Amino acid sequence: LTEAPGDDDLFISVGDAPWIHTADIDTSKSPWESYRIRIADGRIWIVGRDTANGEQTDQGGTSAGTRNGVMTFLEEQLGVRWLMPGDRGDVVPKHNTWAVEPMDRADRPGFENRRLPYIQNKRPDVKQWCERQKLGYSLQLNHFHNWRRTVPRELFDEHPEWFAMRNGQRIPPIGRYKLETTNPDLIAYY
């Protein structure tokens, strides 16, 4: 819709349109990433709590609640699946007609941070696939490998027992190295 619907219009409305008040939908106080799907009287509303471009949640993430609602609708009502990135992973059943039952559903993801690192996330087809899987994060969590910062390789000469053992030998640290994380002195140092 690009303008307010008439009283008898059948429609699908996606996002925070000015006329969603006609469906008694207000997402402003809903949890981040949540959505609501309302189907009544030949009308379908899909609306979620979203952050604007460049905006972040109070926990440093972003929210795409409307997108989560659209993906849920496509999956559950039309049987669409995205099994892997790219066109070959798309399963889009053909329908000559389709019907939906009245519903009023509010939902949100069970976790505030749903990301899959190291899957070529910058590729456009992978990024699109992640969005279709409702991956995202309203809670920003940072993680990284920090053994080398906390227990630098220079400590090997003084504390070889802190470093991994292979075939009965302590291994001098090279590149990404392993630590003996059960060593009580290393635990205390860390």
Please provide the DSSP assignment of 160-188 as one string: GGGB-EETTEEPPP-SS--B-TT-HHHHH
Cα angle, residue 70 at apex, residues 69 and 74 outer, rounded to 5°: 120
Q: Residue 20 pLDDT more than 90?
A: no
Provide the CA 5 distance to its chain's centre, in angstroms. 32
Question: pLDDT value at position 21?
Answer: 73
Q: What are phi and psi of 69, to 5 degrees?
A: -65, -40
User: Is the pLDDT confidence value at 56 over 80?
Assistant: yes
In whole angstroms, give the CA distance from residue 134 to residue 163: 40
Over residues 142-155, the pLDDT tens digits come to 877 777 888 999 99
Which token pair is 167?
A: 């075939």
CA pair distance 95, 34, nearest whole angstrom: 28
Nearest to 134 by CA among 117, 150, 110, 118: 110
Mean pLDDT of 56-83: 97
Q: Report the relative pairing of strands 35-40 and 103-107 from DSSP bridges.
A: antiparallel
Position 4 confidence tier, pLDDT thresholds 50, 70, 90: confident
For 125-140, what is the mean pLDDT?
A: 97
> Rounded CA gap, 135 and 129, in Å?
9
Averaged over 85-107, what is the pLDDT?
94
